[in-house]
Structure 1
């Protein structure tokens, strides 16, 4: 009996109604209940809040875990209903923070909230660019209009400014001077001159002569206007072909709705850049055309990153609207977009201020196009597919009827007979 009375397991299973055991039972009842109705619910809420805050502070490697947690929680139908209905207090707090609302444990920026104003702004810019091109026209360079091209070599290094000034003093205005590898070898481009090559060679030798620096003209080429028109037409065809290839690639890689949005955003970037050159009369030559082609490739790369995240979120996150899915994708790629555009702009600005006259207009075209491309990848490339009815069904592979398995039920009456 002594053993039974001293057994702690027996005392826990059969507590006495009075004494210290009753006090222990009373204290035990005051603990949080496990049915979710007591204070345990509040403790769980506080622990979830602190966990989400710590995840937001960490970032980096935890961002992938947050996305996985978001996908797991979005699979719960109860959570989906809560996401659709929303909490008034959370929405009020989010509006106080600048309109940043939450989906699950991850906060998103409502980019599509400004969809209509940005669409109107883009339409005005495109229409203004087309009007500027039609009214003012492009200040085409010598590559498109024709002219004179001469290869010049000096005994000592020469400055571009000095060569341009010497040509202007001798009647050769609007000259373009570029270095060919070294500071002694230069390429001189002039507007159309007389067809007499011998007289032109003598005039250039006299105009290019610098004090204490002998010059030698190795090659003089006269480019006619017909050749310039062919280059101009080939340039336009190259832009159209590039946009058509981008349309086919995105349509095969993702979906036609996204492909149409990507091509329209690329057209927006190209036409806005060309329109600014026409509006201010900037010279438009082959280097500017090369910048526009490079801009199309850069802008498409940025758009593909956003599209890839949109497709991924449509497949893994459920219970939210397509607009919220696009906002979530743009929020997740925002850091990458900022880092990419910052590093590229540093290089472009370095070429703009330190690259010389040969890279000046190339850098100007890239600078304008980068700003337009970042804007179009966020709004134009994403809002157009949304307006076309982009949904989760566009990214789910559906099984064709001929490949569906037929369920056959076989009931043998002899199986149920008893022996």
Structure 2
């Protein structure tokens, strides 16, 4: 008997039209992406209108610059932009050998012009001047503003990088650093960009170093310059460090090289806390490990406080940050909402011993995407200074309670969920 042939034809009733499936999946994916993107755009437009009606221009408490000695280096804390800018400009005016200036944003306003003139004057008297600015952050600035005299060497960090189209954050992040180093002896770092708005209307924190620890910021500038310079720009000499100062070190994120120490210093310090943790952040969207670290600290009795703007200049960041509030408040972390003005500082102090001041926010973009720099300082004197600053800022903040947070509107709760997929962008 001949073998029976198996019918391999799929019955019509169960055949699958893969073209339709692909179209359906594609449309579903597009819809899934469109919903949070549309919601995000709506939130930003709404908050922009609200911001025009209620600008963040209220007065806020500040303190005069205060100085403490850290391991043979004088460290000065600034909480008001106008004070900082005067001392930065005075340092540039007094430069005899070198000026290294790096800024994420450099506005073409009166304050920006003062800095531009200062570096031009320094170059004219024979000082070697090197300038770095971020191309993307300054797209709204007229290109003519960045035309310097030929003696000023200028590195424009590319506005658009290869990872932007594929959303590969480590290959598309920005140069978010703010550094000034003069004559290898005086150095500044912190949250302040350059512009009139930041001089008087934003609460930020910057640190000035005078002494051997200035090398930390010089070295950071030199390494970045040599990494990103074009062939027309000279190589800067790496001089090495004559002094080792373990109590004051710079942590530098370099995403293209997969180097992210700032996140590490936060995690290590939070894990060590036994008394208190005071964090001030402009945009606070902690990842799972940092969130869990703060919750674990609170659970073992540490007084954990996070101070953030009640309304920042980036509304989407505010909404994404609120997605963490339920866990934080329920876990005993206290949230302080800064009132009436933008607080842009990126600082923390723990147990009266450990502190950090720098450029990195606690969010995905800063900790794994942008070039950032934070100083890590283990010193009770500087910790005391920053605790005083934190208490000053608390005097202009209100505490968000768990009961108040639970009573927010259902619409707000829905918006937080809808916007959550946009978190990788920040």
TM-score normalised by the chain length of structure 2: 0.22
Give 1 or 2: higher strand fraction: 2
Larger radius of gyration: 1
TM-score normalised by the chain length of structure 1: 0.22
